[in-house]
Amino acid sequence: MAYTALEKMRRTNEQRFGDDVGPLQPALSDDAQTGFDLKSATLRFIHESCEDLRFDARIAEEEAQTGVLRGTSIAPNQIPYNMQMDINRLCLERELERFIDSGSTQDAYNVYYCFAEIFLGGYDSSKKLIELLGECESNVSTLLMEHRDHYSHSVYVFVLGLAIYETNANFRKAFDTFYGFDTNASANERSHEAACLFLGLWGLTALFHDVGYPFELVFEQVMSFFGVGDNRGEDTPFIAFKNVRPMTELAPQAQEHFERLYGRHFTSINELLAYDVTQKLGTAYGFEEDYLTDLLEKKPISPEDFAYYMDHGYFSAIRLYRELEGALVNDEDGTGRPRVLQAGHVDALSAILLHYVVFRYSVAPCSGRDELSLPMELHPLAWLLILCDELQCWDRTAYGRNTKTELHPMGVDFDFSDNRIAAWYLFDEAEQAKINAYHRAYVAWKMTGEHGSAPKLKAYSSFAGKRHGFVNDIEYLVDISDVPLTVACVTAPVNRGSKHVYLSDSSFLHVHDFAVALNARYAHEGHENEVSTTELEAEFEALSLEYKLGNINQAQSLAQYLDAIHCFYTGRPVDYDMLTEFSPEEIERIAPMEHERWVREHHAMGWRQGDDYECVPVPNGMAEGPYRKMLREQMRCHRLMLDGELTKERIRAHYQSLPESDQGKDWLPFNSMLRLMEQYDGLRLYRL
């Protein structure tokens, strides 16, 4: 049973009310149950392998003894704590599905949001890091010659790793062995505990492996202004980062903790990472800890020692350490005090450190071997990150001036069956004439004995060529003998329909503000100007992940709704009429669209149509309103839901059949939001 706490609640409700009133067990499609494509493998991993994710037996026992529920839904203490954890996992499953279908940046944001809420103690603690990464990249990197997206890219890397763990027994055995789990269990008895540990550690590794890019972007931006390309040397002007000690030094509490954990004293993150990498790779590659410590100390302050390049991998590890130190809380004593990292977290940090230039140019060459080929058993997280970082080269927004003109894959089809990886990278069929010309030139080059340089077609030739190609580059970096990789190139028509691209344009910084304002309709309708943003944000943070995401998805849909009524929002000053309230005609257009979004969202989250929560007698001494809301959340049914086949026409007819008071729930929030948005700087709505 995939969602065990939801099933337990269903059985409890059946005993209480003498009927099967829910909640439903979330469904996994037939294709996802057996498929070996990227989407099926990823969803199956979350749905089946990560059973009981973040459950707490101690809290469950306290609930049983006291009768006081600790789980939050639309309000605190409405559902069992472990039921909330099951719903959180379902949120992650659904948001991953949305992202895999679209690849859009806004859906990538939602995956980050889910992960932070589940594993980092709440999105608020990581808000600045996650949002500013996207902001910095999209604004600063346009000034560079070579640069592509790293925001959606990181979520794709995350997805790839989940699919590989789910489908590849060889990698799974390497990971489970490394972390001390039983590797002799049958396929049906695989450790859910191991899968849950992998999800948490891999999420940290994959989602945050490029958060240090702003340091490298600034460095490269200055190089670009000086007109410096790849020919860098003693006459190259450059910048360096001084006074990094506050970033890298360990607090006394952390020093004491790591000394207990490793039996060694460390004063800085550099020393800690050097020790961890040396313990894992030092013997195999022939380097000493002092060598690596010295190298890391020089990374930010002496780029001249590294061919005049700055290493975002190093800064990503340092930056993530600081983020984790502030986000993780002490679960043992319940005080909520910050705690230092555990060994698994350090593994994620050292994997991030190794994924870029440290491994290929500083660590592996110490061995004196021609090939670097990191074995997965030495550092499973680093091995997987390097592999997935290389594989994820499709559907990446080009920001750099040269990068925009290159021919990159727009999509990919994967087959992960039989412990292998087969990838078909999709290129725009509009470029077919160039591709054909390249292949003719390549054949001619082969027939002349391969004299001179091989023909090239931007990035395409690294996939299609036979010499120093895409697969060869991966084999050079990681040992894939236990995970055979085959790659092919095909052409296909461009499909941008899933990207949710509309005229409205704003930064990630406003998505959260939109969601907070939309949520405020519950308590402040008609009194929007009397409440502070601090109060609004506190009310939003009190919600469960499911309800926060509901507001976020509603906010993200606003661009689509505005497009339908010829309006838009922007953070730039424009010479258009500002939108202060929706007209009746506009409401008639957008309200059914919002109702459709709401119905489909609830259906995906396992809700059903019903009013059972309104028919149960209220116990003596309990307020009727809160009690019925609690039952609704425990049964996961709603009178405004719709069961069966959800066609657009059927949902619209359902909306038209609703009383006017219920129809207002689909458009009143937006008028309320228009008034509340005046309290947030920089974003306004306009009519074309």
- In the chain, domain spans: 115-391, 416-497
Helix (H) or strand (E) holding 175: helix 169-178
Name every residue whose Cβ is closer than 8 Å to that of residue 315 and which is 6 or more positions away in sequence: 211, 212, 213, 215, 216, 300
pLDDT for 327: 67
E-strand spans in 290-420?
A: 411-415
According to DSSP, the residues that pair with 411 across neighbouring strands are 426
The residue written with tokens 């972007």 in the block is: 217
According to DSSP, the residues that pair with 578 across neighbouring strands are 686
Look up residue 57 and give its DSSP letter.
H
E-strand spans in 203-298?
A: none
Distance CA 480, CA 113 (A): 32
The residue written with tokens 């040269």 in the block is: 402
Distance CA 603, CA 94 (A): 11
Distance CA 86, CA 25 (A): 11
The Cα diameter of the chain in Å comes to 92
Handedness of CA 101, 102, 104, 109 (dihedral sign): negative
* C-beta neighbour count of 20 within 10 angstroms: 10
The answer to whether the CB of 72 falls within 8 A of the CB of 548 is no
Residue 297 token pair: 């100390």
According to DSSP, the residues that pair with 569 across neighbouring strands are 685
Distance CA 681, CA 60 (A): 43
- pTM for the complete prediction? 0.92
Look up residue 360 and give its DSSP letter.
I
Look up residue 23 and give its DSSP letter.
P
Alpha carbon separation from 453 to 408, 441, 442, 450, 457 (Å, rounded):
21, 11, 10, 8, 12
Distance CA 29, CA 513 (A): 34
pLDDT for 330: 40
The answer to whether the CB of 286 falls within 8 A of the CB of 367 is yes
Distance CA 298, CA 292 (A): 10
Distance CA 653, CA 392 (A): 43
Name every residue whose Cβ is closer than 8 Å to that of residue 292 and which is 6 or more positions away in sequence: 273, 274, 277, 278, 362, 363
The SS3 call for residue 482 is: coil
CA atoms within 13 A on the CB side of 632: 18
The answer to whether the CB of 607 falls within 8 A of the CB of 635 is no
pLDDT for 236: 87
pLDDT for 336: 41
Distance CA 26, CA 16 (A): 22
* C-beta neighbour count of 544 within 10 angstroms: 22
Alpha carbon separation from 114 to 111, 124, 317, 546, 677 (Å, rounded):
5, 12, 21, 9, 24
pLDDT for 145: 44
Provide block-wise average pLDDT over 10 residues at a time, the chain (688 residues). Answer: 92 92 88 92 96 96 96 96 98 96 89 92 72 60 53 94 97 95 70 94 95 86 78 88 94 92 96 98 96 97 93 94 73 44 95 95 88 92 97 71 58 96 89 78 72 70 65 91 92 70 69 81 68 84 94 90 90 85 90 94 94 89 91 95 93 93 83 71 78
Residue 286 token pair: 């022939």
Helix (H) or strand (E) holding 93: helix 81-102
Name every residue whose Cβ is closer than 8 Å to that of residue 78 and which is 6 or more positions away in sequence: 69, 71, 72, 629, 630, 633, 634
Residue 31 token pair: 């294709």
Distance CA 352, CA 210 (A): 8
